[in-house]
Amino acid sequence: MQIFKVGGAVRDRLLGKPVTDIDWVVVGATAEEMLAKGYRPVGADFPVFLHPKSGEEYALARTERKSGRGYGGFTFHASPEVTLEEDLIRRDLTINAMAEDDQQNLTDPYQGQRDLEARILRHVSPAFAEDPLRVLRVARFAARYAGLGFTVAPETLELMRQLSESGELEALTAERSWKEISRALMEDQPQVFIQVLRDCGALKVLMPEVDALFGVPQPEAHHPEIDTGLHTLSVLEQSALHKQPLAVRWACLLHDLGKGLTPEEQWPRHIAHEHTGLKLIKAVNERFKAPKDCQELALLVGKYHTHSHRALELKASTLLELLQSFDVYRRPQRFEEFIAACEMDARGRKGLEQRSYPQADYLRGAAKAAREVAVQPLLEKGFKGPELGEALKRERLKALKAYKENA
């Protein structure tokens, strides 16, 4: 029995990056031998065991064969005869197909170290094209390592293009897709993830609503970058630069979908795109079964982001309606995330990345003014039920009028 550290742990050590997760491969062992040594079995698909002390995962070396559609369409074969090289060849990228023993002796049959030094994301073998999830994974790695200068090898991008055209991407489950998308959005350069998906034709399949934004112009006076797709990438980039949480990044990606529906004869104006985009945002939310907080924020940002940009001009009644829509009295954090997404939208414009966004503090002040209206005096006056709600609304409106006058 031989045990090797494989995959990301080896890659990140060679890159000088922190190693978080460690994967282990066991060569020359049977499941019975693993059990006899106290390892605990997990997973029904292939033989993976938990270490009796550390709890880390140890997988028997295995080969795989395509047997159906999608990510799960594989038959695995694990036996003591499977070599380390045979196990490594089934992996996605050369930089993930390296192994090392307990003395840090490197096994690198597919030149992963060479590609690390050349900053190239390259597939290990033609079997890459059998697993559609790898399109998303490679795009995610491109987003993670873009800052180090990594790019996708042209021949790998071609395989990704073939996968995108094959219909295999449609076989991915919402859960698997969302896992990759959400991880990619939290990388340092999430806009690279979207760009790589677009470059290989996968964006058109997975998120046609986002793909449709590229080539759609906006008024140059407000958007010096003009192209709506490029603007979306810039907004996403800003969300990462400002360390925004996942829900904000998701909302940034989807906020302008309505502009993809504007008839060409109306370009570059996009009248009521906030409302026309809602059905598209809802469709993307449901397609990937995004978490509830991501879904809600994306819809609210889509509907109200222009309200935020025009915050200083809004009537007190419109401000109140906005605050009520967000339930700022019970869910103040969601309104904070809305403001953050709108600020990223404003900063995601060519040459305006450093411009201040006074609307943010103005909206926070408005929310504070509305929240500070006390309920107790109204109860003491005998208001209850729907009448109490109306009286509270009137007092909040008064507070917002006063806030506007003094702001």
User: What is the domain-level CATH number for residue 189?
Assistant: 1.10.110.30
Last residue of a domain, one of 118, 143, 165: 118
Q: Does 341 lie in the same domain as 259?
A: yes
Q: Does 4 lie in the same domain as 114?
A: yes
Q: Which residues of the chain have pLDDT under 50?
A: 71
User: Does any domain span residue 328?
Assistant: yes
Q: Does 124 lie in the same domain as 110?
A: no
What is the number of domains present in the chain? 4
Cα-Cα-Cα-Cα dihedral sign, residues 72, 74, 78, 82: negative
User: Does any domain span residue 219?
Assistant: no
55 vs 51, 52, 270, CA distance in Å?
5, 6, 55
User: Looking at residue 72, what is its pLDDT?
Assistant: 53
Q: Does 329 lie in the same domain as 340?
A: yes
User: Looking at residue 68, what is its pLDDT?
Assistant: 55
Q: Does 57 lie in the same domain as 7?
A: yes
User: Looking at residue 162, what is its pLDDT?
Assistant: 95
User: Looking at residue 227, what is its pLDDT?
Assistant: 97
User: Does any domain span residue 223?
Assistant: no
Q: Does 137 lie in the same domain as 69?
A: no
User: Looking at residue 144, what is its pLDDT?
Assistant: 97
Q: Does 171 lie in the same domain as 239?
A: no
The encoded tokens of residue 353 equal 């990345």
Q: Does 360 lie in the same domain as 236?
A: yes
- Binding-site residue numbers for ATP are 8, 11, 91, 137, 140
| Residue (of 224, 227, 255) closest to 239 by Cα position | 255
- Binding-site residue numbers for Mg(2+) are 21, 23
User: Does any domain span residue 144?
Assistant: yes
Q: Does 380 lie in the same domain as 277?
A: no
User: Does any domain span residue 290?
Assistant: yes
User: Looking at residue 69, what is its pLDDT?
Assistant: 54
The structure's pTM equals: 0.92
Q: Does 359 lie in the same domain as 234?
A: yes
Torsion on CA atoms 230, 233, 238, 240, rounded to nearest 10? -170
Q: Which domain holds residue 187?
A: 119-206
Q: Does 104 lie in the same domain as 201?
A: no
Quickly tell me which residue has 């059905």 as its tokens: 279
User: Looking at residue 66, what is its pLDDT?
Assistant: 58
Q: Does 127 lie in the same domain as 60?
A: no
Last residue of a domain, one of 118, 144, 162: 118
3-class DSSP state for residue 70?
A: coil
User: Looking at residue 44, what is its pLDDT?
Assistant: 65
User: Looking at residue 154, what is its pLDDT?
Assistant: 98
- Binding-site residue numbers are 8, 11, 21, 23, 91, 137, 140
3-class DSSP state for residue 330?
A: coil
- Binding-site residue numbers for CTP are 8, 11, 91, 137, 140
